[in-house]
Amino acid sequence: MGPYDKGPEHSGFSADAIDTSKAHPARMNDYYLGGWDNYEVDREAGDRVLAMHPQVRESAVANRAFLGRALRELTGGGIRQIIDIGTGIPTSPNAHEMAREVAPDTVVVYVDNDPIVATHAGARLTNAERTAFVLADLRDPKAILDHPDVRALIDFEQPVALVMCIVLTFLRDEDDPAACVAAFADALPAGSHLVLTHSTYEPYEGYAEGRVEEWKRTAVEEVYQGSAAPLTLRSKAEVTSLFGPFTLLEPGVVRVPLWRPDGEVPGAAELNDIVFYGGVGRKD
Ligand SMILES: C[S@@+](CC[C@H](N)C(=O)[O-])C[C@H]1O[C@@H](n2cnc3c(N)ncnc32)[C@H](O)[C@@H]1O
């Protein structure tokens, strides 16, 4: 049984729950981002993905840059609370560091279902004030929303930035990711926002010489199929529909570097290789 099979009722951390026999998406992401919290099995799987699609590393970096822009924008607009679901292994800067560049009083609750992430949370996430880490599964929104640490930090009368970056891609269609998003939306007041990124197999709009062809989609999915959490790649239309009750802010769902860029934007070939869509939606 791997850490992803433990079910939503698992709320405490046990070192036994760390499965190092299979590559793990959180540790593979850490490897792409140049971190040290990964094992041989993660590096091997990561190298297989990078051999097929070398730009996955740039995609991971562009995804973090998107998150920074989105959080600075939302905190600039007055939001002071963040729930970051699918936190990943801490990497610098983390959500509380990004948000606190603008608003030092922002509170952040980190949520992940991976015990490995939990082992690092104490040293690198919850060592800061007004932060918490909750080991829970996003497929059980109620367990997260009712968690005492969430209730202690988050004021559900005030708007929240709900972050789901490269996490719904680890939910299969039968997990009903849209219903998970909707359950969180129901619990949050108007003015709350969803910050979402998601992996795709689609080539960049209008880019003829696509490197993100069908065979690569299959190959990337195959590597992750053997990992602790299989990857489901989705189209722009599917990612857009995940926003559900959240109204998309301009420019909608786009390749992550194109979301309100604060510098030069990559060309079509590079955008084609950045296999993540991102967007921000508002609950009215
Ligand atoms: C690729 S990492 C993304 C990390 C970070 N959000 C980012 O965008 O850089 C995906 C994270 O989602 C977590 N995750 C996957 N499925 C989850 C679930 N059902 N509930 C909570 N966390 C999950 C994994 O453990 C991993 O840490």
Q: What is the mean pLDDT of the chain?
A: 87
Number of domains making up the chain: 1
The span from the CA of 227 to the CA of 154, in Å, is 33
Mean pLDDT of 150-160: 98
The residue nearest atom 14 of ligand 1, judged by CA position, is: 86
CATH of the domain at 156: 3.40.50.150
Instruction: Name the pLDDT band for 213 (thresholds 50, 70, 90).
Output: low
Q: What atom of ligand 1 comes closest to residue 3's alpha carbon?
A: 25
Give the pLDDT confidence of 218-256 residue by residue, as tens digits.
666 677 777 777 788 899 999 999 999 999 999 999 999
Mean pLDDT of 106-110: 97
Q: Which domain holds residue 206?
A: 3-282
Q: What atom of ligand 1 comes closest to residue 163's alpha carbon?
A: 6
Q: What does the pLDDT read at residue 211?
A: 57
Whether pLDDT at 214 is above 70:
no
Using the mean position of ligand 1's atoms as its centre, give its distance from the Cα of residue 118 in Å. Answer: 12
Q: What does the pLDDT read at residue 61?
A: 93
Q: Which residues contact 261 (CB under 8 A, 6 or more apart)?
A: 69
Using the mean position of ligand 1's atoms as its centre, give its distance from the Cα of residue 163 in Å. Answer: 11
Say what percent of the chain tops pLDDT 90.
62
